[in-house]
Structures are given as structure tokens and as C-alpha cells.
A and B are shown apart, each in its own frame.
Chain A
Amino acid sequence: MTIATFPPEPKPEQGWGRYFGFCTDAKVIGIQYIVTAFFFFLIGGLLAMVIRGELITPQSDLVDRAVYNGIYTMHGTIMLFLFTFPVLNGLNNLLIPTMIGAPDMAFPRLNAVAFWLVPIFGFLLIASFFVPGGPAYSGWWSYPPVSIQNPAGNLINGQGMWITAVALSGVSSIMGAINFVTTILRMRAPGMTFFRMPVFCWTALAAQSLQLIGLPALTGGAIMLLMDLTFGTSFYRAEGGGDPVLYQHFFWFYSHPAVYVIILPVFGIFSELFPVYSRKPLFGYVYVALASFIIVGLGLIVWVHHMFPSGVAQWMRNLFMVTTMLIAVPTGVKVFAWLGTLWGGKLRLTTPMLFCLGGLFNFVFAGITGIMLATVPVDIHVSNTYFVVGHFHYVIYGAAVMGIFAAIYHWFPKFIGRMPYEGLGKLHFLLTFIGANLNFLPMHPLGLMGMPRRVSSYDPEFTFWNVVASLGAFLLGVSIIPFLLNMLSAWIRGPKATHNPWNAIGLEWLLPSPPPEDNFGEDVPTVISRPYGYGLGKPLVEHQDEIERKLELQEASA
């Protein structure tokens, strides 16, 4: 448990090489996370294209049914465990230390180990495509008994590898969470009280606390699943007296909060970016910050709403419906706060701002379908249909991934030191926004009509909306091209960024772009006011003018 102390690290190399090695600098690890995540994003996206290709016709004709099931399972698993969580951990690594003025994370070596687990379990998951019998095929939920049927009959099988990979992902996430929480609790700059902390750090703290409470439950459930699959125990096997529904409790006790683990940092991103690009303070900072923790509390007691038709009693349905509905209140506080921030501002519709606005638009839509899903009778009709698929893709892609793109465009100049291109960025936004809505909106009528999710073929009456959704998906596939082009060319030959190209307020913008390895080093500025002081004319830190003058001089001489 003397897991890591501040290691007296040798001077690390500055070139490209450090991105491929065991580096303990949080900023390098952050970029490693994000690049790795996008590598897997492309794989997951390719799988999505196959799924939508299959579903463009009613018959099961593009791929074999078993292949389809494997592909949709891996699409979900890769997108969550290898894209969304790693990309957010990447942002955490970049932003938390720089935003709170820490030189690095609390446990730099643990941090590097947590990252390097990602390619390892990623490899394990991808390798499961090539084992005899194929990969896991029981959905990213892996509900038993389907997930413990093991049709290939081998000891090493896709499902077993899937469980191992997910468990490793859990280990990596727990390591990350311990690190982020400790860093935020103990390494803030002088003067940075909790209520002077940027909202992104609040939401990261909230999200990582959820990881710490929720993930072990999934891990426990997964251990039992693996034992059922491999060693013939019968925790979930009805023949042996087990209960398949027990797994669902374990699974959703984590996997519903997991949605908040994803969306809370995105709320943080919105709360950071709306003030910058509307030149106004965040409306009701304290409420926005505290709402995150109300969401954490409520988020832990809603999981049964995923199981309304799974055989739970009516009183449980009602109870969990009420808790689920209550989440709308703190979420509403945030949404209204963002609108209040925008209202009467001086909006600059840059690429990150467009992604934020688009993300907010999609999120509000997703929130409304979420309320519909919380009400038991409606949920009974649409649960496990495409309505749900549409709903969570609005949340995950429409809101969270859009927010992640916003964050990448916004902080790219800070951590890479070069400016991304606006034209390509706006094209990327346009294609993403149209593609996402074209892809995910038609799923709602499909679900209402009664098309179950996870089907490889469907009745002909569902054809029209499926064709529309598939076309949207292909557009979404194309939308990634301008993004990759933008990132690559900007990284290689984009215009040099100043220390604060967006004229934003925050500790990270008082660092050179890109920041030096130990960030502020010995001279961590003392924070004297709340974040987002746009238009208030109060400096954020002591001697702010001096710091900025020094940075400008550095830039002028470079």
C-alpha cells in the first residue's frame, strides 16, 4: 500500500517518445488516455456501422446472427469501457492538476499503471474476436443465464475474456478514482477552498466518488458471474437454486451511476465553457456545484428503474420511479443555470461553444425521454426497445460525447500548444449534430411501435425509420473525418497558441501553453476569488498581472 510516493523522477524526455512509455506526468498520461480512447472509438464506431448496415434491411442478411450479437455486444463494451471512461479520465488527468494548481496527481505511478491497464484490457477484449467460438455475445449487460451458457464449451471463451476485461477496467478505474479524489481533496492551491474550485473539479469529485461506491458492486457481481461461467457454481443459475435477477441488481447498482460518472464531468465542461464563451459568470455557481452531489446521492438509489419488467414488486417500482424523477430537480438546476449564464451574455459561437450548445440541446431532449422512461407504465411498454436505445444514445453521444469534443477543442491549445482549425471544427460540429439527431431520433418512434433492442432482424413495418437511422449513422461515421484531420494537422502544424487564447479565467490559463512538467512548480499562485469572474474585474489570484505579463513576455520572445 505504499503505493506511490512523490518519485524523484529523472528528467523525462520531451519528444514523441514519452507518449509511448511509462510516463508519470499527468499531462502526458492525459493525452495517452485520450489518444488511446479515440483509437478504440474508431473500432467501436466501425462496429456501429456494421450494426446499422445490418439494420438497414429487415432481414438478417449482412452478417450471421451470432456475429451480429457479438458485434453489438462489443460495440457497447468498447464505447463505454474503452472510449468514454478513458477519454474522461484523460480530461481529468489534464484538467484536475492544472485547474487546482497541483504539480501532478497525488500518486503519479499509480496513475501511469491505471492508464497502462487500458491498452491491456483493450487488447484482451479485441483478442476475444479471434478465440474459437467468437467474442461475448450477451450484450454489455451480460445478463445470466445467456452469459453463462458458453456455447463453444472452451475454458478460454469470449465471455470469460469479456468479464476479465471489464474487471481489469474496474481496477483501472478504481486506481484512477482514488488518485483523482485524493488529488482534489489534498492538493489544491493555497486559497482554493471548495467553493473556489472550478465546477469541473466538483463534478469530477462527484463522479469519481460514484466510481468508488458503485464499481466494487459490479466487480463483486462479475466475480460471481465468472465463477458461474467457469467453475460451475450456481449463483445465477436457477437449476442450482441461484437467482438470475440478483446479477441485474449488482450490474445496475453500478451501471446506472456509471451514466452519471459519464455525464457529471460533461456538466462540468458545460459549466466551464458557457461562461467563457458568453463572457458572464456561471449563474448560481454554488447551486451548480452542490447539485452534483445531490445527483450522486440520488444516482445511487435509482438502479431498479432498469428492472421494472424484470420481476420486481410494485412497491419497488413506485419507490424507484420517485427517486428517478427526483434526479430531474438537481439536473434542472444545472440546465437553468446554464441558460441563466447564456442569457444577456456576449456569445461567441466558436467550435467548443457550438458543441456545448448542441450537447445541451440533445441533453434536454434526453432528459425528457428519461422522465418518460422513469414512469412505470410507459417504461413497461418501451423498456428494452429502441426507445431506450435512442434515449441513452442521446445522453451518451448527443450530450456526453459532444461535451467531450467541446472540451477537446477548448483545451487543445492549452495542452498541445497549438490552435485547432475553426473551419474544420465547425464542419465537424455540423456533421455530428445532424448525424446524431438523424441517427438517434428515429429510434424513438421505433421503440414506441414496439421494436425490441438487440434484434438482428425485424418486422417490415419498422423499415422506414431504420433506414433513416442508418443514414444518420453513416453521416456520423463520416463526421469523425474532419475531427481527425483537424487534430492531426493542428498538432503538427497548427498556429502556436498563446497562454490564454480564449481569454478565459482559471488557473490552467495562467500556465504557458503547453504547461511545463510540474505546472506551477514552486510558485503556485494564491487563489483569492471564485472562478468565472467574467465582467467582475476581480483577479483570480494574487499578483495575476505579474504572472500574465511574464507569460506574455515569454510568448513574445519565443
Chain B
Amino acid sequence: MNRLKLTMHDSLVEAERHLRVIPRNIELLIFATIQPIMFLALFAYVFGGSISIPGFDNYDQFLMPGIFSQSLVFGSAFTSIGLAEDLSKGLVDRLRSLPMSRSAVIIGRTVSDLVRNLLTFCVMLTAAFLLGFRFGGSILEALIATGLLVLFSYALSWVQALIGLTVSSVEAANSAGFIWMFPLTFVSSAFVDPSTMPSWLEVVANANPFTVVTNAARALYNGLPVGNDAWISLLWSVGLIVVFSMIATRKFSQSTSS
């Protein structure tokens, strides 16, 4: 078997291991579904009336793409927890002693998390429609918007993989995987217009790749001109995947149970 075929086969086996168990954990599935719906409803009803954004008649049309974006990014934290779990249980020693592709363990994990995130996204999109959200542009634009969000979430899964391989316990992975999600998603254009922030924070928010991705998706969902945001967010995602897949795979090749 050549190297690429080996990696694809092993990644698929790994992804299947994680996907197979999703239906077995009904509680997790329920909470993973409720959380984004709750976020949508809370933000829409609590802030909906008091926030108005220039260029948008309706705050929901501005807000909901932001929440899609945030929920998908939060979903990437599963990757760090999952990998930390394999590490803490000594499974990593077994995997590293098998004649399998080194990167397949992480590819399989990130791909299965991607599938899980897509499922959550579908639930959330349905809920958004029920709350009155509508695509302002074509279906193709909506698909591209979704693709950009999902790709960015996948890229962050690789960052999370490195975190999961670096921390010493599942509990630590849980905190370390989530904590930076808050500044990343709140110091951004997801919920408000950054120009309303203190000027130094506005600079940070505008430089935040999460802002770029959210802006691109929001423009596409609403049928507005997207400018360069789509390309820049694509570059961010691809760049993160390339860099962090190399670091995380190297890290995996050196890790053993303690």
C-alpha cells in the first residue's frame, strides 16, 4: 500500500471508531443539539430588540451567521478532549506501536469531529429558519458561506489537536480547549459591529481571523458583496491546517502515556 492510500485507509478506520459511538451517547447528543439552539434563541430575544446594525434591517440577519460561526468554532474543542482521552488511556501507546500512518490518528479524529459539527450545524440552521432567518442571496452563496465556516472550524480542530496532545489530562484539555474560544469569538464581529468597541479593541477585532470568516459568511448568507473576505478566510483556514497538521503530527509521534 502506498503512503497516501495507507493514510486514507487508516484515517477512515479512525474516523469510523469515533462516529460509531455518537449514537450511543444520547445525552451528549441532546446537549450538543440544545446548546446552539439555546444560544440562537437567547441572543435573538435578549439582544434582538436593543441592537441595531447599520445596513441590516433586522438584527437576526446579522446575528445568526455570527452564532453559526461561533458554534462551529466551539465544536472544534471536541478534538482536544478526544485526543487527550486517547492519550490518558494508554491507547496512544498501542496506536503508535501499530504499522499505521502517524497522521491518521489525528486526521480521523478531526474528520469525525467535522461530521459531528455538521450535524449540529444542520440542527441550528433549521432552528434559525424557524426563528425567521432567511438566505438573502442564492443557495450557492449560502453553501459557500457554510463551506467557509466549516473549513475554519476544521482548521481550528488541528489547533485543538495540538492542545489535546500537549496538556496532561482530559480535564486540562477541557479548559485549555475552550478558554481561548471566548475572546476569539467575542472580540469579533460575530455579535456587534467592531466600530462600537474601544478603538484598541476594534483593531484586535478586525485583525481576528474569526471576524474575517464571520464577515464573509454573513455577506454570503445575506446576498451582500463579500469583497476579499472570502479569499482571506480561505487562506487563513488552509494556512492553519498546513502549519498545525505538521506540528500536531510531529507531537503525536513523540507522545507516550505517562
A and B: partners? no
Residue positions of A touching B, CB distance < 8 A:
none
